[in-house]
Structure 1
Amino acid sequence: MSSLIKRALLLINNIIPIKKGLIVFESGGKKADSSYELYSYLSKNNVEKNYEFYWITSNVKKEKKGLLVVPNDMLLKVKQMYKSSRAEIIFSTHGFFTSNNKGKQKRVYLSHGQSFKNTLGLYNNYENYTHILATSKFSKELRIKAFGSVPQAKFIISGLPRNDELFRKVSTNSCLPAKFILWLPTFKHYSLENRNDLGLERDYDLQLLTEEFLNEVDNKLKKMNMSLIIKYHPKQNLNFVPNNSKNSRIKILSDDDLRKKNLNLYSILQLSTALITDFSSVYIDYLLVNKPIAFDLTDMDQYKDGLGFLVENPLEYMPGSKVYNKSDFFDFLNDIYINRDKFEGDRKKLRNKVHNDLSGDYTKKLINEIFEEKK
């Protein structure tokens, strides 16, 4: 944020009043994640009769009622900040918080997951939070470590609202295979800026995903009557990964594909047979469904030299099959095929450490806590 915008915002905060009943939602420029769960819950329960809702989003071309654009135009940025400065409550997953208007706003940092990646300095405006969501006391410790110091905000120990989808009854979807493994890698090259989380520069982000490897996997999956769905991180630079698959048993889906098919990622997680990931926070969520996990560690050393981790030995927090090469990958496929689960006990142990509440209904619980404070 430029110094000019900061000065303009401070001036606005000293002049304009907070608008009672205005709630602003943010989730990385999209209507998604835990912010969307909160928005949906409040809308379905007719809370909108007494409140105004606004979204900070970048997927519309002009401002509409209920939407705030993330624009390049400085004048519109100031207008966006004006709306946020007037809000009584802000729910954010990506830390969109300007300075707190006279300290009278509720600014709830939901986060977009609890990972063990070293995010120190990436979300450094925590002084503007009034509430921070953490899924357990251990998660709270990791949050503080990532912030670099103890924030003044109130910590709320509860589940992420987006994980409510993992507890809902989800019927099978005709767009999805009957038995499939979901592969959700974290991003290495960031799509929106010149950021590379690996400790070296190269022209690919996933060592295993070669055409030869995908052909081998496809042949194996045909024999097992299973499928593989690959979904990249929304911020992944697609120039560094395969963008499509000609294999019949392997599908690569984008966010646009999910929208067109009316699919929710967390519904897909619930329906999946197993998960493959690397250092993404999604596996912490997946612990709630207690299904097998494999970790692609072919980039472990490079990632450690790059962004790095919050914990000294991250392997201790990866309860699943460790994949360092093609042979390890096919061993995992075989385990899934024969229903062999070697890490259930390890998953439950970590689950109980990172999730204080295993019962779901997280959206309602968080809403009740925030709105109870208003009375």
Structure 2
Amino acid sequence: GKGLTSILRFINRLIPKRDDQILFESIPNFSDNPMQLYNYIKSLNEDYRLYWIVDELREDIDAPQYKRNTIGELWQFLRSKYIVTSHGYHLFLKAKNQVYVNLWHGMPLKAMGYTQNNPKILPPNSNDNNYYLIATSTIMRNALAACFNQDPRRIFITGQPRNDKLFKGCPSDLIPGYDEYKTIILYAPTYRENGSFFFFPDFDKGRFQKFLKEHNILFIVKPHPLEEAHAIKIFKKMENIILLEDQMLQERHLDIYDFLPCTDILATDYSSIYFDFLLLDKPIIFAVPDLEEYREKRGFVLEPFEFWAPGPKVKNFKKFLEEIKKSIKDPDYYSQERRTINDLVNYYKDDRSSKRVYELVWGSI
């Protein structure tokens, strides 16, 4: 409750901070922007104490870890000079002398927070000089400022650390039989609050199976963790299809950003992952049979969607297959539109975002 929060904030003000201690937290554990920044800082071999807050302790990860909602976690939070997070963890307890680095987990396309009609949760914000939120461009800084109700002077254009991975190429052992396929398509839809994992109403399993084999395509599906069961029902026992399940990714220390450099075509709906994928300048297909309904219910912070989505917008399964064929045949299909949006969305197009965040917060090396 509020009383407990006030007490903890008071205690946090009194307890001295360790200047060399950085506390990391991400959802899922050890992933996304915080993990990439953690790896970068670790590679510098400076004398930082790098600690993680996690749901489950992992023995196969060589880092001091504290379980969420325990006294150990609270104590490390109170002692840490720096907090690095993907979801705004514990910002309400921050003391003035703690430096808070909110790396978030993607740039906004969908309306969220203060731009949503009736938001379930409002994202955290702060106007103190020890607070950093990151963005990928000026437009994204403005979009974040609106969504977070945030003073834009505390939003910094650095690029997202996780996108540094996109420039490392495709690890040869990542996908079994990678070289045997002609085309790799990654399907990464956004989470839908009604829990239905979405595919086309006229989806024809047999036809899709035949299509994938005929064109020698590997179709990789990355559902939201809460929608895995739905996705398994739709795609189970199909050949040329791999499902990326959260547990498998966690066990192998992977996330979807490891798979993007291996991907020839990205298929998505309203997931902002395509902003990141633009850095690779490869085709994107938007599978949006419910566009009008989604626009009305959830809404977009960037409109018109038709402009911001640089690829064919597909409303049925037949068209989806046609657009896959076009995207394979012509690498320049929609390339002009992609370049336009990439320039608006990604100010930096390189693998140095972690370095920029580090220098912004901790000064140059």
TM-score range, shorter chain: 0.7 to 0.9
1:208–1:4: structure 2 CA closer, same or farther, 3 Å change rule? farther
SS of 1:180's equivalent in the other structure is: strand
The aligned residue for residue 183 of structure 1 is 187
Equivalent-residue separation in structure 2 for 1:346 and 1:45 (angstroms): 38
Q: Residue 345 and residue 204 in structure 1: after superposition, are their counterparts in 2 closer, same or farther (change >3 A)?
A: same
- RMSD of aligned residue pairs (Cα, Å): 2.5
Kindly provide the amino acid, as one letter, of the partner of residue 213 in structure 2: K
The equivalent of 1:136 in structure 2 is 137
1:12 aligned to 2:11?
yes
How many angstroms apart in 2 are the aligned matches of 1:209 and 1:97? 41
Q: Hey, what's the Cα distance between the residues in 2 that align with 1:328 and 1:341?
A: 19
Match of 1:350 in 2: 341
Q: Is contact 1:91-1:109 (8 Å) kept?
A: yes
| Partner Cα distance (1:65, 1:252) in 2 | 29
State the TM-score, normalized to the length of structure 1.
Answer: 0.85
Structure 1: state its 5+ residue gaps. 190-195, 197-202
Distance 1:358 1:254, change over 3 A: same
Residues 182 and 275 in structure 1, CA contact (< 8 A), matched pair in contact too: yes
Residues 189 and 270, structure 2, Cα contact 8 Å, conserved in 1:
yes
Map Cα deviations across residues 24-81 of structure 1 (whole Å, 9 max, x no partner).
111125110110011111222212xx2211112113389x97212224xxxx2x5533
Change (3 A) 1:324 1:368: same
Match of 1:147 in 2: 148
User: Number of aligned pairs?
Assistant: 350
Instruction: Output the CA distance in 1 between the equivalents of 2:250 and 2:85.
Output: 22
Deviation at 1:100, TM superposition (A): 5.8
Match of 1:30 in 2: 29
Equivalent residues of 1:19, 1:86 under 8 A apart: yes
CA change 1:279–1:294 in 2 (3 A) is: same
User: Does the 8 Å contact 1:108/1:131 carry over to 2?
Assistant: yes
Q: Deviations over 1:59-107 (max 9, x none)?
A: 3389x97212224xxxx2x553342232111111111133465411110
Q: Cα gap change, 1:256/1:233 in structure 2, threshold over 3 Å: closer, same or farther?
A: same
1:166 partner letter: L
Q: What SS does the aligned partner of 2:134 have?
A: strand
Tell me the equivalent position of 2:227: 237
User: What's 1:317 paired with?
Assistant: 308
For 1:344 and 1:282, locate their aligned partners in 2 and report how far apart those are by CA, in whole Å: 17
Q: Given residue 108 of structure 1, which amino acid in structure 2 is its aligned partner?
A: V
Which amino acid is the alignment partner of residue 20 of structure 1? Answer: D
* Inter-CA distance 312–336: structure 2 relative to 1 (3 Å threshold): closer
**SS of 1:20's equivalent?**
strand
Task: Choose the corresponding residue for 2:52, options 35, 51, 55.
Answer: 55
Match of 1:3 in 2: 2
The aligned amino acid for 2:74 is M
Cα deviation for residue 155 of structure 1 reads 2.2
Q: Residue 175 and residue 115 in structure 1: after superposition, are their counterparts in 2 closer, same or farther (change >3 A)?
A: farther
* Aligned residue identity for 1:70: R
Q: CA deviation at 1:140?
A: 0.2
Give the aligned partner of residue 117 of structure 2.
none
TM (norm. structure 2) is 0.87
Farther-moved stretch of structure 1 (325-334 vs 11-20):
11-20
Read off the aligned partner of 2:323 and give its amino acid letter.
F
* Residue matched to 1:193: none
- Residue equivalent to 2:105: 112
